[in-house]
């Protein structure tokens, strides 16, 4: 029995024979073209582009149906590469001027583009590099006639070579890496789970696995050297572990947990329309984090009672021009209307740090998380800020919208932001435009300065929302995207807990509510502490809503309060975790 640990990427338990993922190897033959071959070669290239387009459109449609619009968006991005002059025109130029065959040139050009993107120090752009490689691979496959999809058990080729379900049996797929398009093509009847040697939990592949409901473990290191085709395997997608050749006792344990997990998921579905109320009657709002209007409808399936964080910067990424006031208005209005009477908290632009907006051409900085980001940019680029605030005021006429400012460190920033908010309304009214009657304003508490001085800042705002993703990195001095120091990044560290407690306390003393929209809000294990110190709202990735609701509905707020006080006196994160486990959170289902 061989146990391997990786990163949990998609929850669930699976047992079955190992299936090694084989991407049909494409032989690229390099040819020199005669003058007479050039036009036919161009036609062949164009036909391959069109074939790729057809496959990607079909994939987008299928993914939208099975996993939702948000997951299908990746293929829209791939489709855009098919029209990108940096790829298409460069290939055409080289085929003509260098008289080389299209597949050789496509492979070369897309590899160059991907390498250029991967060299940029931003996770977001590195992901785009994988997308360019994926698209290049598809065009080459269409040129050489092996189809645009990968081969291997459980994978349906997008070019039509469906894997024969009768000849293939269900198994656990092992791969070095899976491109998002490989993942979208996995046949859920055949792929019980997958394991990859590389990758992180926030890659598109991991996100897609979660939406497709396929358990997954990523970043296991050299698992392919240890697994053989057909050997028994088991994975725990919650713990991030993989067992090769489990003995009988281990197999029985996995099977029992698999059945329990299935029953639990079914049970959670029944919680969808029930409130998040503790056994002694304290209600907590559970809201969803969204980044795009297309995410609103799928999010509602999990039963959130609002949007606690609408990350507007996603409207600005991945494009060469900025969205104008009307486009932003439509995007904000769409989410507000989808959520009806429920509150939708729209955060003003939070760029900088690890989020880059190509259209703004921001200068590179040596400490971007401590630099010109978020509200600091908005207060200096007044054109951007005013456009966004005007769009929010107009959208507020169609729903229950609140505005939230990110990365606040001083009271002066809040005052300036609120003055801009008032001025935006006055401007619209003077122009005779329809605006919302009110637009309550809050701040993210995500700098230690804001948490420590929360009593001062609370007087200026209508609500707080704790941004723990940043609060943890600034409190513990741990860059949130640096895996070398990731072991120190701990939401349960008592220093972090004390700042959270201080913030909630200051909010309540000032008579305002306090929520949390960092990833910590979606940790069921943290719920006893968060409920215990009195958070009013928790906003999280939508699939976490039922899990956190289940924990809340099973606990007593009084008991949680007692435990939370003890947690604040613990010496370490480990001690806090152990302590919080002692609170009964009776499960329903
Ligand atoms: C946070 O910092 O916790 C947060 C929610 O914002 P972001 O992750 O977008 O920085
Ligand atoms: Mg943040």
DSSP state of 245: S
pLDDT (tens digit per residue) in 7-35: 888 888 999 999 998 765 677 888 899 99
Ligand 1 geometric centre to CA of 466 (Å): 9
Position 316 confidence tier, pLDDT thresholds 50, 70, 90: confident
> What's the gap in Å between 388 CA and the centre of ligand 2?
18
Of 411, 393, 402, 389, nearest in space to 513 by CA: 402
Yes or no: say if 170 and 192 are a contact pair by the CB < 8 Å rule: yes
Tokens of 319: 């494009």
Residue 203's pLDDT is 55
Label residue 586 by pLDDT band (50, 70, 90). Answer: low
Question: How confident is residue 163, by pLDDT bands cut at 50, 70 and 90?
Answer: very low
CA of 118 to the centre of ligand 1 (A): 24
| Cβ neighbours of residue 45 closer than 8 Å, sequence gap 6 or more | 91, 92, 95, 102, 106, 143
Kindly identify the ligand whose nearest atom is closest to the C-alpha of 347: 1
- Ligand number nearest CA of 310 is 1
Q: Which of 309, 302, 275 is nearest to 515 (CA)?
A: 309
49-72 confidence digits (pLDDT tens): 998 998 888 878 877 776 667 667
pLDDT, position 207: 60
Q: 387 CA distance to ligand 1 centroid (A)?
A: 22
Of the candidates 289, 285, 343, 304, the one whose C-alpha atom is nearest the C-alpha of residue 552 is: 285
The pLDDT score that the predictor gives to residue 164 is 35
Q: Is 204 considered catalytic here?
A: yes
Low-confidence winner among 182-186, 241-245, 397-401, 442-446 (lowest mean pLDDT): 182-186
Q: What is the DSSP string of 73-123?
A: HHHHHHHHHTT-HHHHHHHHHHHHHH-B-HHHHHHHHHHHHHHHHHTSS-H
Q: Which of 204, 292, 398, 514 is catalytic?
A: 204
Q: Which of 153-167, 366-380, 406-420 has the lowest mean pLDDT?
A: 153-167
pLDDT (tens digit per residue) in 397-425: 999 999 999 999 999 999 999 999 999 99
Determine the residue of 467, 472, 496, 523 to mutate for testing ligand 1's pocket, defined as the one with the most ligand atoms within 8 A of the Cβ atom: 467
Question: For residues 132 and 119, is the Cβ–Cβ distance under 8 A?
Answer: no
What ligand has the least distance to the C-alpha of 469?
A: 1
Q: Which one of 307-321, 344-358, 490-504 scores highest in mean pLDDT? A: 490-504
pLDDT of residue 122: 65
Of 78, 514, 517, 570, which residue is the catalytic one?
A: 517
Instruction: Say yes or no: CB of residue 290 within 6 Å of ligand 1.
Output: no
**Does residue 39 come out as left (phi exceeding 0), alpha (psi in the -120 to 50 range) or beta?**
alpha
CA 386, 390, 395, 401 dihedral sign is positive
> How are beta strands 2-5 and 241-244 bridged, if at all?
antiparallel
40: how many CB neighbours lie within 10 A of its CB? 10
> Ligand 1: which atom is nearest the Cα of residue 311?
9
């Amino acid at each position: 029995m061989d146990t391997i640990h990786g990163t949990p990427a998609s929850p669930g338990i699976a047992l079955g024979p190992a299936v090694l993922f084989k991407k049909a190897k494409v032989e690229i033959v390099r040819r020199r073209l005669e003058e007479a071959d050039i036009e036919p070669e161009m036609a062949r290239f164009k036909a391959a582009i069109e074939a790729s387009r057809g496959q990607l459109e079909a994939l987008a449609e299928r993914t939208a149906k099975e996993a939702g619009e948000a997951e299908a968006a990746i293929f829209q991005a791939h489709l855009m590469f098919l029209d990108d002059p940096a790829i298409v025109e460069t290939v055409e130029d080289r085929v003509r001027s260098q008289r080389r065959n299209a597949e050789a040139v496509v492979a070369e050009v897309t590899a160059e583009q991907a390498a250029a993107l991967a060299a940029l120090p931003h996770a977001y752009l590195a992901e785009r590099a994988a997308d360019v490689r994926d698209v290049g691979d598809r065009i080459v496959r269409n040129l050489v006639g092996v189809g645009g999809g990968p081969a291997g058990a459980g994978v349906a080729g997008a070019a039509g070579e469906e894997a024969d379900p009768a000849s293939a049996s269900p198994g656990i797929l092992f791969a070095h890496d899976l491109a998002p398009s490989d993942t979208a093509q996995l046949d859920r009847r055949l792929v019980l789970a997958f394991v990859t040697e590389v990758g992180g939990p926030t890659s598109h592949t991991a996100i897609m696995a979660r939406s497709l409901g396929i358990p997954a473990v990523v970043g296991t290191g050299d698992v392919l050297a240890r697994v053989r085709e057909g050997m028994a395997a088991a994975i725990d997608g919650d713990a991030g572990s993989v067992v090769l050749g489990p003995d009988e006792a281990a197999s029985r344990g996995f099977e029992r947990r698999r059945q329990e997990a299935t029953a639990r998921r079914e049970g959670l579905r029944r919680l969808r329309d029930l409130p998040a109320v503790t056994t002694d009657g304290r209600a907590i709002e559970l809201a969803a984090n969204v980044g795009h209007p297309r995410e609103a409808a799928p999010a509602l399936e999990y039963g959130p009672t609002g949007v606690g964080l609408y990350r507007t910067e996603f409207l600005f990424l991945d494009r060469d021009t900025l969205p104008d006031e009307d486009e932003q208005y439509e995007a904000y209005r769409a989410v507000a209307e989808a959520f009806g009477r429920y509150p939708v908290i729209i955060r003003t632009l939070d760029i900088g740090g690890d989020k880059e907006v190509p259209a703004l051409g921001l200068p590179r900085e040596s400490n971007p998380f401590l630099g010109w980001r978020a509200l600091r940019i908005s207060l200096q680029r007044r054109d951007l800020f005013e456009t966004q605030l005007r769009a929010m005021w107009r959208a507020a006429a169609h729903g229950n919208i609140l505005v939230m400012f990110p990365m606040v460190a001083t009271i002066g920033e809040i005052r300036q932001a609120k003055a801009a908010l008032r001025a935006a309304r006055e401007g619209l009214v003077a122009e005779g435009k329809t605006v919302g009657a009110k637009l309550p304003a809050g701040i993210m508490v995500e700098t230690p300065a804001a948490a420590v001085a929360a009593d001062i800042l609370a007087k200026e705002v209508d609500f707080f929302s704790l941004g723990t993703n940043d609060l943890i990195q600034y409190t513990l001095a741990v860059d949130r995207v640096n895996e070398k120091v990731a072991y120190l990044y701990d939401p349960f560290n008592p220093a972090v807990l004390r700042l959270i407690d201080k913030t909630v306390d200051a909010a309540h003393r000032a008579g305002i509510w306090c929520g949390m929209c960092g990833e910590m809000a979606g940790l069921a294990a943290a719920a006893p502490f968060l409920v215990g110190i009195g958070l009013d709202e928790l906003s999280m990735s939508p699939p976490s809503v039922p899990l956190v609701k289940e924990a809340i509905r099973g606990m007593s707020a009084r008991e949680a309060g007692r435990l939370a006080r003890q947690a604040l006196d613990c010496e370490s994160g480990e001690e806090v975790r152990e302590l919080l486990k002692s609170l009964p959170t009776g499960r329903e289902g």
